[in-house]
């Protein structure tokens, strides 16, 4: 089967699941290829085992001769279909000019993809997000008759639900990553319950081979780790402020892996903490991230709700940390409590609560043997329910059922 997997940004270190799904589809014998809407992210770090998928990815510029040439050929075959698509988009986003403008920009690109897919014999369009990737898949499907399905993760459904119900009605399936999202889709976007399948994201089970952590000894510092984009919704400022509340004699070190727009501000905030306690390592390849997790005593994911409803789904970094058998503290946000169950598989705090996060960090330090017990339960949970191979195969089965 030829599967066209549609994403916005590619490659993107914070969306490793998109690459992993394509790799699993290929491993199962299918011709899976990525189409990315935005220009190629040449600055991203690509792990060697993903290079083949990355180099085979496809993109059409928004306003290029190639795009318009392909788009016109498809539009001439389905002129009324194009008119109906435009009418749906205008009706859905009439009161949201930014979303309307972007969605209209996607029409030529989606038409070009439709024409290319017809020429290449594509059997299925799979969009990794319910926002613009699903819009492109929806348009291409309407212009070709090739079926499509899409996944719903987080802010792709939280920011706006306009056009979402139309795309869901026309899709073969809507896959989402949490029960929280399924309820949201039914209640806010009026997606039929029987159209939605909950299939978690996942990580490779081999991560569980890392040695179990031990409490620091002989005056060694307690190693804390944050991994993720340095953006407001990641809550790194909350973490730094929480560390300031710890007793002055607490021996800790925080390693921050990731980059983003807030890095300068966070570096300034870190200067208010004792010198040398916080290091910023920038974005790193996956092998460095996993090595850092293997050395950490505690991984912290202090997410908050961002602007326009941007929020986490279930962060992959949590799955990875738990697969490594590391204790975790995370925010009680979106679908996170489905993975990190308070007092069962980890620790939860209210988003943005500085003192609550500080108290939780102090508790883990003081009761580390108990924290390790929760970590073992968390590791078992990830291996059972968040296995990337098993879950990608479940997603592939949804695609197969469309044929």
> pLDDT tens digits for 319-346?
999 999 999 999 999 999 999 999 999 9
pLDDT at position 186 is 95
Among candidates 95, 354, 388, which has minimal Cα distance to 243?
Answer: 354
What class is the 205-385 domain? alpha beta
Q: Could you tell me where the beta strands, DSSP code E, fall in 316-373?
A: 328-331, 347-349
pLDDT at position 12 is 82
Collapse the DSSP code of 401 into the 3-class scheme (helix H, G, I; strand E, B; otherwise coil) and give the result.
coil
pLDDT at position 169 is 93
Share of the chain above pLDDT 70, in %: 98
State how far the Cα of 285 lies from the Cα of 109, in Å rounded to an integer: 31
Among candidates 248, 253, 246, 278, which has minimal Cα distance to 263?
Answer: 278
Q: Which helix (H) or strand (E) holds 345?
A: none
State how far the Cα of 23 lies from the Cα of 57, in Å rounded to an integer: 12
Chain segment 388-401, per-residue pLDDT in tens: 889 999 999 999 98
Read off the pLDDT band of 85 (50, 70, 90): very high
Q: Which two tokens stand for residue 256?
A: 């921050």
| 221 to 189, 375, 395: CA distances (angstroms) | 48, 20, 43
Read off the pLDDT band of 27 (50, 70, 90): very high
Read off the pLDDT band of 402 (50, 70, 90): confident
Q: Which of 32-41, 71-80, 209-218, 360-369 has the lowest mean pLDDT?
A: 209-218
State how far the Cα of 282 lies from the Cα of 212, in Å rounded to an integer: 26
Residue with tokens 């929020």: 311
The mean pLDDT value for 225-247 works out to 96
| Spatial contact of 379 and 208, defined as CB atoms under 8 Å apart | yes
Q: Which residues of 186-209 are buried (b: 16+ CB within 10 A; e: fewer)?
A: eeebebeeebbbebbbbbebebee
pLDDT at position 48 is 66
Res. 58: pLDDT tops 90: yes
Read off the pLDDT band of 46 (50, 70, 90): low
Res. 359: pLDDT tops 80: yes
- Do 2-202+387-400 and 205-385 agree at the fold level? yes
325: left (phi over 0), alpha (psi -120 to 50) or beta: left
pLDDT at position 211 is 81
The DSSP-derived string for 105-146 is HHHHHHHHHHHHHHHHT--EEEESSTTHHHHHHHHHHHHH--
The DSSP-derived string for 223-246 is EEEEES--SGGG-HHHHHHHHHTS
**Whole-structure pTM value:** 0.90
Read off the pLDDT band of 207 (50, 70, 90): confident
The mean pLDDT value for 85-114 works out to 96
pLDDT at position 305 is 87
Read off the pLDDT band of 306 (50, 70, 90): confident
From the candidate CATH numbers 3.40.50.2000, 3.40.1280.10, 3.40.50.300, 3.40.605.10, the one assigned to the domain spanning 2-202+387-400? 3.40.50.2000
State how far the Cα of 59 lies from the Cα of 136, in Å rounded to an integer: 12
Read off the pLDDT band of 308 (50, 70, 90): low
Share of the chain above pLDDT 90, in %: 80
State how far the Cα of 191 lies from the Cα of 168, in Å rounded to an integer: 6
State how far the Cα of 105 lies from the Cα of 113, in Å rounded to an integer: 14
Q: Could you tell me the residue ranges of all domains in the chain? A: 2-202+387-400, 205-385
Q: Could you tell me where the beta strands, DSSP code E, fall in 358-401?
A: none
pLDDT at position 11 is 85
Distance of CA 128 to the CA centre of its chain: 9
| Mean per-residue pLDDT of the chain | 93
């Amino acid at each position: 089967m030829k599967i066209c997997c549609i994403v916005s940004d590619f490659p993107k270190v914070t969306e490793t699941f998109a690459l992993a799904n394509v790799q699993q589809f290929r491993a199962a014998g299918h011709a899976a290829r990525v189409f990315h809407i935005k220009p190629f992210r040449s600055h991203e770090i690509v792990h060697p085992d993903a290079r083949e998928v990355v180099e085979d990815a496809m993109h059409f510029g928004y306003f290029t001769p190639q795009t318009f040439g392909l788009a016109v050929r498809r539009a001439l075959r389905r002129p009324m279909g194009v008119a109906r698509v435009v009418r749906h988009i205008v009706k859905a986003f009439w009161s949201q000019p930014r979303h309307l403008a972007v969605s209209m920009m996607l029409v030529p690109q989606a038409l070009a993809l439709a024409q290319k897919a017809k020429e290449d014999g594509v059997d299925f369009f799979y969009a990794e997000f319910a926002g613009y990737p699903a819009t492109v898949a929806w348009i291409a499907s309407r212009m070709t008759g090739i079926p499509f399905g899409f996944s719903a993760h987080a802010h792709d459904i939280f920011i706006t639900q306009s056009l979402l119900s139309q795309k869901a009605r026309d899709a073969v399936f809507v896959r989402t990553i949490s029960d929280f999202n399924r309820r949201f889709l039914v209640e806010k976007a009026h997606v039929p319950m029987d159209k939605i399948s909950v299939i978690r994201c996942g990580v490779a089970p081999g991560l569980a081979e890392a040695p179990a952590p031990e409490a620091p000894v002989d005056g060694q510092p307690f190693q804390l780790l944050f991994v993720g984009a340095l953006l407001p919704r990641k809550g790194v400022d909350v973490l730094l402020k929480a560390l300031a509340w710890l007793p002055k004699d607490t021996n800790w070190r925080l390693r921050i892996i990731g980059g983003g727009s807030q890095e300068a501000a966070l570096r300034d905030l870190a200067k208010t903490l004792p010198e040398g306690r916080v290091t910023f390592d920038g974005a790193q390849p996956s092998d460095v991230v996993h090595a850092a997790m293997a050395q950490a005593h505690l991984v912290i994911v202090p997410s908050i709700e961002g602007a326009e409803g941007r929020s986490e789904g279930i962060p992959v970094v949590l799955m990875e940390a738990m697969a490594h058998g590391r204790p975790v503290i995370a925010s009680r946000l979106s679908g996170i409590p489905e993975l990190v169950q308070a007092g069962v598989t980890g620790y939860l705090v209210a988003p943005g609560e500085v003192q609550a996060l500080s108290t939780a960090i102090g508790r883990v330090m003081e009761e580390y043997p108990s924290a390790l017990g929760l970590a073992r339960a968390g590791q078992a949970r990830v291996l059972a329910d968040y296995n990337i191979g098993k879950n990608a195969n479940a997603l592939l089965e949804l695609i197969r059922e469309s044929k």
